[in-house]
Structure 1
Amino acid sequence: MDHGEDGVRRRDFINIAAVSAAGVGGASILIPLISQMAPSEDVLAESSTEVDVSAIEPGQAIKAIFRKQPLFVKRLTDAEIEAANAVDVGSLRDAESLNDRTLEGNRDILVTMGVCTHLGCVPLGAAEGEVKGEYGGYFCPCHGSHYDTAGRIRKGPAPTNLVVPEYAFTSETVIQVG
C-alpha cells in the first residue's frame, strides 16, 4: 500500500473530522450557556440613570431611582456648604469632607443613595417639609440616625455616611449615575 508522503491518510482525515465536530458541538453548548449569564435588557437599562439638575433650587433636593433604590440629589446653599466645611473631619465617625463627596466644579451638587447605612431604611429630608434631623441634612425615622447637609453620619446607629454613587456630569445640567 502506497500512502505517499504528501497525501492525507484516511485516519488523519477521521481525526480532523472528529475534533472539528467536537469543537462545533462544544461551542454550540458553551455559547448559549455563556450568553444566558449576561444581564438582561431591563437590568442594563437600570445600570445607569440620568438626572437633570437644572431645575433644582439652592437648598432643594429631589429623589430619583437608581438600580431600584432611592437616589437623593441636592443643591446645597452657600450656608450649607460653609456649615459642612466648618466641621472638623477628624471628629466624624466616617471621616469625609464635602469635597470628598462632591465633584470639582460642582461642589454645590450632592448626590447620595437614599438608603440609611444602618438597616436600609429611606431617610427623610429630601422632600419639602420633611424632618431633616439635628444637623439639617437627613433623618432616618427607623432608628434615629442623623446626617448633616453633606450626608455624613453625625448621630445614631448608622455606621457610615450615605453612599455617594459613581456619577459624572454629561453636560452642565445633567448627571449620569452609574
Structure 2
Amino acid sequence: MATASETKATRRDFLYVATGAVGAVGVAGVAWPLIDQLNPDASVLALASIRFDIAPIVEGSSVTILWRGLPVFIRHRTEAEIEEARAVPMADLKDPQRDEDRVVEGHDQWLIMIANCTHLGCVPVGEAGDFDGWFCPCHGSHYDTSGRIRRGPAPANLVVPPYEFISDTVVQIG
C-alpha cells in the first residue's frame, strides 16, 4: 500500500534557496563586466556610420573621404558616364553587375565605392585607365565608370558600401 508523505519546508530548505539566489546574483555580477567589455569602443561606434554633404561636389568630379579607416570614393557622374556604364554588355565584365545595382535608385549620378583595389588593396587613381574610370597603377587593374573591373588581375568590382540618402544633399554611409 502506498503512503503519501507530507513534506514540510524547513529552515535548511530556505537556506539552500537563499544561498543559490545569492550565488546566482554574484556570478551575474562578475560575468557582466566581462561580457560588457566585449562591446565595441565608443570611437569604433562613432565611425560605424558617417554623414557627408555632397552638395559641393560638382558634376564630373569626385572626392575621397574616410569611413571606418577606409578611403571611399564619392563620384558625381555625368550623364555620359552613366550611359557609358549602362551600355557595357554583361559578357564583357569579369564580375558581372549592372550599373543600376551599384547606385541608389533616383540618385544614379552618385557612385559611392570603397577605394581599395580588390586585387591587393591599393587605392586606384580616378579618371584614368582604359575605360575612363579608375586605374590601379600597382598591378594594372582597370575599372570602368561604374567601378566594375574590366581588365587586370583584380577579381571583383570595387565594393559598394551600405549607404542611403538622408536628403538630396546628405548621404549616410554605414
TM-score > 0.5, shorter chain as reference: yes
> Is 1:52 equivalent to 2:48 in the alignment?
no
Once the two structures are superposed, what CA deviation does each residue of 1:53-87 show, in whole Å capped at 9, x if it has no partner?
A: 11111110010101101000001101101111110
| Aligned residue number for residue 20 of structure 1 | 21
Q: Secondary structure at the match of 1:138?
A: strand
Indicate which of 121, 124, 131 corresponds to 1:135: 131
Query: Distance between the aligned counterparts of 2:117 and 2:50, measured in 1?
Result: 20
Indicate which of 166, 169, 173 corresponds to 2:162: 166
Moved more, 149-158 or 6-15: 6-15
User: What is the aligned length?
Assistant: 169
Query: Distance between the aligned counterparts of 1:9 and 1:96, measured in 2?
Result: 73
For structure 2, the residue ranges without an aligned partner over 5 or more in a row are 1-5
For structure 1, the residue ranges without an aligned partner over 5 or more in a row are 126-130
Structure 1 residue ranges, 4+ long, deviating more than 6 angstroms after superposition: none
The residue correspondences of 1:83-162 to structure 2 (distance < 5 A) are 83-125=84-126, 132-162=128-158
Identical counterparts, % of pairs = 48
Q: Secondary structure at the match of 1:38?
A: coil
User: Match for 1:96: what amino acid?
Assistant: Q
Question: Shift in Å at residue 6 of structure 1?
Answer: 10
Q: Secondary structure at the match of 1:73?
A: strand
Q: Secondary structure at the match of 1:43?
A: helix
Normalised by the size of structure 1, how large is the TM-score? 0.91
| Aligned residue number for residue 128 of structure 1 | none
| Structure 1 vs Structure 2 CA RMSD | 1.4
Query: Distance between the aligned counterparts of 1:76 and 1:70, measured in 2?
Result: 18
Question: Shift in Å at residue 29 of structure 1?
Answer: 1.6
User: Match for 2:52: what amino acid?
Assistant: V
Q: Secondary structure at the match of 2:125?
A: coil
Normalised by the size of structure 2, how large is the TM-score? 0.93
Q: Secondary structure at the match of 2:18?
A: helix
User: Match for 1:58: what amino acid?
Assistant: E
Query: Distance between the aligned counterparts of 1:56 and 1:98, measured in 2?
Result: 21
